[in-house]
């Protein structure tokens, strides 16, 4: 075990273009969102493992000796490729989740137990530690909150067990891991996502691990090497929706109207690829004309998403409010409510942004002024974290 406290963070994600079309083999572009999940790990020797999740109002504690028995009962197999139903049910019984607990709390705790037992399995006895995880990301909004959680857990556990290096040098405020270490973090985080979601695509944990922007098509994920950091206004309409139901509705409409839907999906694919091209040439010196192209692509894709049936009146209202101030918005994620983003051009007067935020708040929405395209999972010094983050992480 490492002697010092570990502070780790990982970003959420925004889908720029390609949602729903990606299910049908088209290109999707996703970027790291500068709303992050933060983790503090303190190793100790009191024979306890404590997990505190302030966002879920959850606090759990286990004896290492009991975790050791659970570990011996079914985790002495080889390298895991996916959690089995039997393993998840045993973890659920061990954690006492038969009745009376929220699904989000249950899944978050199960993901932690799974990653802790497997990543730390070579240690005898298993390590004692306190972990607090707090997030700026709303849960269930399609912004990759569970992936950021899994990435933070994987990185911290791997570092504490010295599977990856603690690369934060004395006096530095933050640090990143190398490519091999990031690959290892991502692989374990994907297993955590499988505990939570069953059959995730791998996009969310990949964006959270590497940051920047990723291109996703037919199961292949690749990084966009040179992209600008874009400023956005992110809006949560707070309208609940079912991703599964929305995906199914697009599939049904495709079967019913193939000659209409197929061209729409092809057009969404072309929008994604044009956005990828423009982002590539914007990295050095972005121009107003390039921002105008991005705005046109946002408008076109939002109309397409309405046409394929995943729009919502709340998202229409978001687009109307921002358009009244000359800005451009689209949904991000499944649609049917959920979240949307608005591109903020360089040099935009802050009074315009504040007016939009006030108007959207009056609609009952929640807004964040933030950026996309920033770093993935990172180590931090305590001095580099904001006061509200430190306050939340000091809740243990």
* CATH number for 79: 3.30.230.10
How far apart, in whole angstroms, are the C-alpha atoms of residue 243 and residue 20?
A: 10
- Is 187 found in the same domain as 44? yes
- Is 291 found in the same domain as 187? no
- Is 143 found in the same domain as 57? yes
Strand pairing class (174-175; 378-380): antiparallel
Joined together, the tokens standing for residue 54 give 């302030």
Domain count within the chain = 2
Q: pTM of the full predicted structure?
A: 0.92
How far apart, in whole angstroms, are the C-alpha atoms of residue 299 and residue 320?
A: 11
- Is 173 found in the same domain as 123? yes
- Is 283 found in the same domain as 152? no
Can you give the pLDDT of all 396 residues of the chain as single tens digits?
Answer: 454 789 999 999 999 999 999 999 999 999 999 999 999 999 988 889 999 999 999 999 999 999 988 887 766 666 788 888 888 888 988 988 865 455 889 999 999 999 999 999 887 788 999 999 999 998 888 899 999 999 999 999 999 998 998 888 877 888 999 999 999 999 999 999 999 988 888 899 999 999 999 999 998 999 998 889 999 999 999 998 888 899 999 999 999 999 999 999 999 999 999 999 999 999 878 899 999 999 999 999 999 999 999 999 999 999 999 999 999 999 999 999 999 999 999 999 999 999 999 999 999 999 999 999 999 999 998 888 888 888 888 866
Longest Cα–Cα distance of the chain, Å, equals 65
How far apart, in whole angstroms, are the C-alpha atoms of residue 175 and residue 379?
A: 5
Joined together, the tokens standing for residue 301 give 């894709």
Q: Which residues are catalytic?
A: 146, 204
Joined together, the tokens standing for residue 343 give 């591109």
CA neighbor of 181 nearest in space, from 219, 207, 154, 221: 154
> What is the domain extent for residue 46?
6-225+374-393
Residue 1 belongs to a domain: no
Q: In the prediction, which pLDDT does 213 show?
A: 95
- Is 209 found in the same domain as 348? no
- Is 249 found in the same domain as 133? no
- Is 323 found in the same domain as 215? no
């Amino acid at each position: 075990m490492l002697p010092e406290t570990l502070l780790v963070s990982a970003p959420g994600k925004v889908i720029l273009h390609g949602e729903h079309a990606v299910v049908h083999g088209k290109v999707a572009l996703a970027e790291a969102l500068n709303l992050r999940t933060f983790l503090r790990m303190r190793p100790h020797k009191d024979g306890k493992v404590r997990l505190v999740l302030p966002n879920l109002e959850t606090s759990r504690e286990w004896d290492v000796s009991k975790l050791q028995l659970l570990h011996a009962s079914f985790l002495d197999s080889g390298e895991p490729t996916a959690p089995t139903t039997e393993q998840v049910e045993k973890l659920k019984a061990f954690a006492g989740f038969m009745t009376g607990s929220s699904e989000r709390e249950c899944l978050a705790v199960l993901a932690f137990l799974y990653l802790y037992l497997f990543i730390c399995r070579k240690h005898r006895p298993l390590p004692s530690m306190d972990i607090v995880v707090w997030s700026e990301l709303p849960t269930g909004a399609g912004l990759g909150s569970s992936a950021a959680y899994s990435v933070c857990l994987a990185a911290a556990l791997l570092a504490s067990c010295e599977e990856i290096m603690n690369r934060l040098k004395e006096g530095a405020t933050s640090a990143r891991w190398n490519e091999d270490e990031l690959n290892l973090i991502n692989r374990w985080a994907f297993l955590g996502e499988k505990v939570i979601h069953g059959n995730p695509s791998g996009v969310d944990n990949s964006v959270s691990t590497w940051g920047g922007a990723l291109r996703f098509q037919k199961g292949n994920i690749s990084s966009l090497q040179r992209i600008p950091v874009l400023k956005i206004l992110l809006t949560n309409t707070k309208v609940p929706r079912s991703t599964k139901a929305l995906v199914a509705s697009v599939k049904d409409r495709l079967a019913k109207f193939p000659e209409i839907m197929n061209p729409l999906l092809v057009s969404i694919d072309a929008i994604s690829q044009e956005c990828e091209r423009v982002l590539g040439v914007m990295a050095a010196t972005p121009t107003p004309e390039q921002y105008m192209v991005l705005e046109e692509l946002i408008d076109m894709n939002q109309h397409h998403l309405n046409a394929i049936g995943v729009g919502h009146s709340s998202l229409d209202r978001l687009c109307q409010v921002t358009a009244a101030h000359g800005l451009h918005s689209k949904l991000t994620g499944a649609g049917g409510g959920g979240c949307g983003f608005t591109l903020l051009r360089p040099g935009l007067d802050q009074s315009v942004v504040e007016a939009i935020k006030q108007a959207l708040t009056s609609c009952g929405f929640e807004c964040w002024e933030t950026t996309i395209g920033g770093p993935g999972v990172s180590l931090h010094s305590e001095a580099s974290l904001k006061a509200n983050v430190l306050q939340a992480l000091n809740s243990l």
